[in-house]
Amino acid sequence: MRRWGTALAAVTLAAAGLAVTAVPATAATAAQNTAPRAAAACATAWGSGDKTAATTAYTPLADIRTGRHDCYDRMVIDLRGTSGAKAGYQVRYVDQLHQDGSGDVIPVGGGAKLEIRVAAPSYDPETGAATYPGRAGQPLPGVDISGYRTFKDTRFVGSFEGDTQIGLGVRARLPFRVLQLPDRLVIDVAHSWSTAR
C-alpha cells in the first residue's frame, strides 16, 4: 500500500511540475505573438526624375481613380478599347502646369506638382464624343483624396491633339514610379524618401 501511495504522490508531483513548466512556455509563446512587429520596409527608391515611354497607341481615356497604400498613394488612369498596345506617357515635376494649346497656367495645390501626360484623349478620336467628363482647371471628377498622406490636389488640365494632361499636387517632391499596362497607367508617389513606413 505504501508503494502505491508513494508512486501516486510521485506521479502527482511530476504532473504538477509539467503543468508549472507548461505555463511559462505558453506565456512565452503568447508574448511572441503579441510583440510589436518591426516596421516593414517600403521599397521606394524610384527617384524623382522624369519618366517617359514612347507612344505605341492612342487609346481613349475611360476613368481616373486613386487609392491609398502603406508606402505610397496611387493614381490609376484607365483606358478603354485597348488592343494590347500600351499608351505612351510623360510624368515629371514642374513649377507650373501650362495647358497645351492655350498656354494657360492651371493652378495645382501642394508642395510640389506632377504633370502627367498620357497618349489617351478624353474623347473618341473617331466620333469626337467625350469618354471622360474632365473640365479644364477643375478637380478630377469622382476623385476624393481627403485623408491621403501624399496626394494634396488633382486637376484636369486638358486634352489636346491626342494627349491628356493631368495635374497632381503632392506634399513635397517625393519619389514616384510609373507602371505601364495595356489597359491602364499607374502612378505611385511614395510617402517619404526613407525606406521605413
Q: Phi and psi of 13, rounded to 5°?
A: -65, -40
> How confident is the model over 48-80, as pLDDT tens digits?
999 999 876 788 999 999 999 999 999 999 998
Q: What is the pTM of this model?
A: 0.77
Sign of CA pseudo-dihedral 116, 64, 112, 103 = positive
Do the Cβ atoms of 147 and 171 come closer than 8 Å? Answer: no
Cell numbers representing residue 125 in the block: 478620336
The residue length of the chain stands at: 197
Measure the CA–CA gap between 179 and 74, rounded to whole angstroms: 11
Per CATH, is 51-190 categorized as 2.60.40.3500? yes
Q: Amino acid identity of 158?
A: G
Would you report the helix, strand and coil content of the chain in percent, each value rounded to 5?
Answer: 15, 35, 45
Q: For 45-61, give one letter per residue: b (16+ CB within 10 A) or e.
A: ebebeebebebebbbbb
Vertex 12 angle, CA 7 and 13, to 5°? 100
Do the Cβ atoms of 34 and 64 come closer than 8 Å? Answer: no
**For the chain, domain boundaries:** 1-35, 51-190
> How confident is the model over 20-56, as pLDDT tens digits?
333 333 333 333 443 333 345 788 889 999 999 987 6
Do the Cβ atoms of 119 and 162 come closer than 8 Å? Answer: yes
> How confident is the model over 98-132, as pLDDT tens digits?
999 889 999 999 999 999 999 999 998 888 899 99
